[in-house]
Every structure is written in C-alpha cells, then in structure tokens.
Chain A
Amino acid sequence: MRTLTQAGICLDQRRMYPVRSTKIKASAIRAVFGILTALLSTTSACSLETAAPASPTCASFHPARTTPALLNPKLATSTRPLCFRAFAILHSSVTRTPLYVAEHLTRASVEAARALNTRDNRFHAEPQLIPAERGELADYRGSGFDRGHMAPSGDMGNTGDDYESFSLANIVPQDGPLNRNGWADLEGYVRDLTGKLGETYVVTGPAFASRNLKRLNGRVLVPSHVWKAIYVPGQGAGAWIVSNDRQQQWEVVSIATLATRTGIDPFPSLDRAAKAKVPAFPTFD
C-alpha cells in the first residue's frame, strides 16, 4: 500500500518528466504506469524519476516539455503526476482534485473532437489512485456542485480519450451555472482559437485562494476559483480566472498575475515579457 506522506514534495515538477521522444503510444504509457505503481510502494514519486530509466512521458503536453511550476510549496504536499492519452495531471490528495491539467490542442485534434457527433460516458474514480487519495462518486452525489471537467470532454477526439476525461482525477466541484454556461463557452472559444491559429498549449486548474474552503463529504475541497491559461506559440499567452460561485466574476490576466493568484506557473518556459502581457481575451459572463 502506498503511503501518502511519501508521495513527495516535488517542488521542481520540471524534473518529473524525462525528456524523450515526441510520439507516445498509449500501451507504452500504460506499461510505464504499471512500473510506476509498483515502484511507488517503496519510494517517493520524486526519487523514482531519477532512479527509473528515461521513458516516454506526458512531456509533449507542455511547451518546451516543461511542466507547470508550483510556486506555493504547500500545494506540493501529497501530489502525484498522472499521465493520460490526451492530457497530463498533477493530482493532490489534500484536495482530492487535480491541481492542474495540461493539454496540447492542434487544429487536427479539434477537428477530430468536433467529428465525434454523439458521446456516451461515465464518471469514474481514478483507478491509478488508491481510494484514500482520490475523489469518489459519492463525494459529489447530491452536493449541489457539478462535476466540472478541467480537460474538457469536448476536446477529446476519440472515445478512449473521452472516457479518461471523465476520471474524477480530471474533475473539480464546480458551480453548476458556471460549468454549464460561461465555462463551456470558454472551452469552445479555446477550440475555435486553436482551429484558427493552429495549436495551443492549455493548462486548466482550480485555485484555492480564499481563507476558508467548502468541502464535500468531508473529503473533496471546493476551489474558490477556476482558471485556464493558454499559450499560442509565436503569438503569446494569457489566462482567465473566474470565481467558482453564482457571482461568476471573470478576469482576464497575464500569466504572471495568474501565477501570483494561484501559486502555479502554467508555463515556466516563457520569458518574463511574455508572462507580463495581458491578452485581449473576451470574458464569458
């Protein structure tokens, strides 16, 4: 049985992913996670990566293969990186939610997602995590909060990827009207933008930025805000942050401001000037 205390203070998440080939086969990822799961019983996630041989990873979801950086060290407690076929997650067993979810969207991936005319799926607890670490369906049931996707189902171009997006490791408790309206519009806007500009790197996550937090079933923390950062190579970067409540207060911010507000820098590889720019994005209130 894995122990949470060993799950690692991985301050430098950039070292979590060895740099290697760009093409990743799902079967290879599965194999790697089999090994990871086995090794995690005896060692922390941090030391594991230096001990294990370089393997295909989720690094291609990040610009310059650089994973988001946790600027608030408290966020790093009991975290675990999870690699899926279409996105990469840093999961926290303190919140029992993701802390961020990274995707790399392309014109082709958006077209494939749009071609999936109807979808059928099931929310499910994440099998790569032990029950003590993860959110369960029962935690959300009747809570009054939606199960809000971080990597959107609508970005997924096949049923396998779509199924993975329904893992509760990709879900946070989200205000229902926000999830169903403005947030869904934002997700569509990012797909449209990707179709126009060719590719985007997208990092989405919850922010825990209030003195007190609501908690579901004594287990899952409700974020005070949710945010989405995008980087378009050759164009620039920026982010949205919105309060996770009926007020739905939207803000368009620079990457630097987002990092200060959330404790997470989604794109550490960008230079200071790119991070300081406030983009001319619309809001969705």
Chain B
Amino acid sequence: MIKPFADDDAAASIGDLSIENGTDKVTVSGSLEFTRDQTGLERARALKQLADDLIVELENGSAPQSLTGTQTAAVDQVANPFA
C-alpha cells in the first residue's frame, strides 16, 4: 500500500479501486466489491489500512485548512506537429 503524501509515483489498487499517491493529494477512484469470503476480507483490510494511514498522516502532518493552487507544472499550447 502507498504511504500517503510521501511521493508522486506510488500507485496501488484494491480490486478495481485505483489509488494514486501525490505529495499534495491522494486520489482514489473506481469501484470495489466485497465478496463474503477471504478475498472480501483482504480487500476490506486493505481499504481500512489506507483510510487509517491517510488519517494518521493528515493528523500528524501540518495539514493546512485548505490547499490552494495545486497546479504547478507549466502547460502551454503548441501547433500540432502532425497536422
């Protein structure tokens, strides 16, 4: 599992749920089925661990009231070289 906010390159998945780490945000997307078996249990534990780790990091870190202006990389526009 990822260590929340530690880096920009870690990714994980639980079933069809995708988790992407970032130093300024963690993204979770997709859907997740919990079957009533060991697979379901493994998934539930993984999801709980993720939520626990997120809360610990946010509580312990200096989480500001809100994060503004997350776009940092330059995005410009160029003519299509294949046109």
Contacts and interface: CB of A to CB of B under 8 A. Distances in A.
A270 interface: no
B63 interface: no
A110 to B, nearest CB: 13
Given A118-B43, A188-B16, A211-B80, A166 B75 contact: no
Interface stretch (A26-34, A41-49, A214-222): A214-222
B76 A218 contact: yes
B60 interface: no
Interface residues of B, number: 35
A119 B71 contact: no
Interface in B7-40: 8-16, 18, 20, 24, 27, 29-30, 39
A211 B12 contact: no
A143 B82 contact: no
Contacts of B77: 212-215
A245 interface: no
Given A118-B13, A180-B18, A188-B16, A218 B74 contact: yes
A38 interface: no
B29 A119 contact: no
B64 interface: no
Given A75-B82, A137-B9, A211-B80, A143 B75 contact: yes
Nearest to B46: A118
B70 to A, nearest CB: 6
B6 to A, nearest CB: 11
Given A122-B9, A213-B80, A154 B16 contact: yes
A144 B1 contact: no
A271 interface: no
Interface in A196-245: 208-218, 221-222
Please classify how large the interface on chain A is, using the bins under 10, 10 to 19, 20 to 34, 35 or more: 35 or more
A284 interface: no
Interface in A115-148: 117-124, 137-144, 146-147
Contacts of B52: none
A153 B10 CA distance: 13
Contacts of A147: 20
Nearest to B38: A117
A209 B82 CA distance: 8
Contacts of B80: 208-213
Given A143-B75, A208-B80, A215-B76, 10 more contacts: A77-B81, A94-B81, A118-B14, A120-B10, A120-B12, A180-B18, A180-B29, A184-B29, A211-B80, A215-B78
Interface of A: 72, 74-75, 77, 94, 117-124, 137-144, 146-147, 153-154, 166, 176, 179-181, 184, 188, 208-218, 221-222, 263
Interface of B: 1-2, 8-16, 18, 20, 24, 27, 29-30, 39, 42-43, 46, 70-83
